[in-house]
Amino acid sequence: MQSKGHILNMIHRFIELIARRIFLCIAYLRGPPELQPPIKDLTLLHSATVLAFKIRNKQLTSEEVVQSYIDRIREIQPVLNCVVEERFEDALKEAGKCDELLKSQNAPSPQGLAEEKPFFGVPFTTKDCIGIANMKQTAGLTLRKNTIADRDAEVIRLMRTAGAIPLATTNVSELAMWWETSNCLYGTTKNPYNTRHIVGGSSGGEGCIQAAAGSPLGIGSDIGGSIRMPCFFNGIFGHKPSKCIVSNDGQYPSAQSEDQDRLLAIGPMCRHAQDLLPILKVLANKNVDMLRLNEKVDISKVKFYYMEDDGGQLFTSQVEPEIKEAMRKVVRHLEKAHKIKATKLNIRKLKKSIALWMANMTCKDEKDFTYELMNRNGHINLWWEFLKWITCMGNHTLIALLTATFERFTVKHGSEKHTKLIQESKDLYRELQDILGEDGVFLYPTHPTAAPLHHEPLVKPFNFSYTGIINVLGLPATACPLGLNSQGLPIGIQIVGGLNQDHLTIAVAEELERGFGGWVPPAIVA
């Protein structure tokens, strides 16, 4: 006799199948995918590290680089809708000052710049949740449409100190709490590989602009996969650092509890794996020595473990065969290139990923999502907001209202069940940490499917569990692209390390980039 869980999963998969056909019909009725302009400027293909090298050695000017990216953003924005606010004029002025310094008699040496300001003259972008002084910081919430950041977030300050130049902010899901980037302020961001598909969230605009070569590097934040899912859907690299390494100061929404603060991490997003380490060195600041980022990694001495799925968690999609095959190709590559025999695991506690994540996200003092949707000034009336949404007069997305409704039925902070789930989270951390130690990495799907169609996540809301559980554990995880699937959409995996072993996961990503090619520029034909 079939188990209740198996029957529920079968029903869910049937609903997914029907819904996909409906969303596909809607997509076809709206016309063919839009084409983004081809990449003609070769400057756009360089890594941020190479750009910095060329600028400080006067092979390129900072102003030329910044202008190239401004031109690219103006090309892609009408198609992809990834940028929400720009500071082009100020960025060009700052680039000009960089160039003037290099021309002056007191110009620092290239070596000195590399050490003191590793991203001197290089532009960068960040999501509209991370504050840049004198720019809007809306987090996609209508009530914050006129909110201006009065100072730089700590990570922005650190990037400026490293010589980098803020160029623009990018679109997010409403209050960064959904994995499709769409809100009532700025609309929906579209996937550069096929505009019928999503870019992920909440750092979706950032994943999109990186994939479309509209920015050489970006800064995202991740509380349940908000860096790694956009990286996966857009075929780029990204890194969620170990817990409590990078400052969360200046991120909105800010964490409401110590548990949430441990889940939240700010990290790099980029097209080239070689950029991850130098960006993380900047962002880690005083904690950088905890990560041993200068330590050379011998891949042949790293222990590899993997799982192809979560073991069958309720209400999550099955991992697509092409993603499983990509994982197997990685395992075969490791064996062929380095004589490494990866160990397949069966960690049963991963089947409770959603419950564990939700328990760790729970807040006391009634600071729930209705409080957040009111910009932390009271609570919205859900029934009234649903009525406004139905009549097209609302200021919130449907998914935000559904999230607030669902939250009322989840485990309550301090309850017996909540205490049990928090303990289970700690048990899972110890289990995986004991396996990985200081010389192991865990290969795990980033997401069970390639980028869904727009609105399709509504029927598969819990698919973020593959990334969310890693936030619960506080472990470092690097999103690594592994090419395109048969439909031309990016796929990849995440590489998870033991606590503070970020250098291992990044080194493995660099190895897989060499083996599988890394970022693939989006096609320019339908």
Active site (catalytic) residues = 127, 202, 226
Where are the alpha helices (H) located in 243-364, listed in sequence order? Answer: 258-263, 276-284, 321-338, 353-361
Please state, as a whole number, how many other Cβ atoms lie within 10 Å of the Cβ of residue 31.
Answer: 9
DSSP codes of every residue in 88-110: HHHHHHHHHHHHHHHHSTTPPPH
Structure tokens at 280: 């993380």
State the Cα–Cα distance between residues 13 and 393, nearest whole angstrom: 33
For strand 165-170 and strand 265-270, is the pairing parallel, antiparallel, or unpaired? unpaired
β-bridge mates for residue 221, sequence order = 266
What is the 3 state secondary structure string of 477-515?
A: EEEEEEEECCCCCEEEEEEEECCCCHHHHHHHHHHHHHH
Q: What angle is formed at CA 205 by the lines to CA 169 and CA 66, rounded to 5 degrees? A: 50
State the Cα–Cα distance between residues 310 and 352, nearest whole angstrom: 9
**Burial per residue of 262-274, b for 16 or more beta-carbon CB atoms within 10 angstroms, e otherwise:** bbbbbbbbbbbbb
**Nearest residue to 462 via CA among 201, 179, 221, 173:** 179
State the Cα–Cα distance between residues 122 and 270, nearest whole angstrom: 13
β-bridge mates for residue 480, sequence order = 493
Residue type, 13: R
Structure tokens at 52: 């910095």
**Nearest residue to 281 via CA among 475, 57, 48, 45:** 48
Residue type, 193: Y
Q: Is 140 left (phi over 0), alpha (psi -120 to 50) or beta?
A: left
Structure tokens at 192: 């550069």
Q: Are 273 and 482 in contact (CB under 8 A)?
A: no
Length of the chain: 526
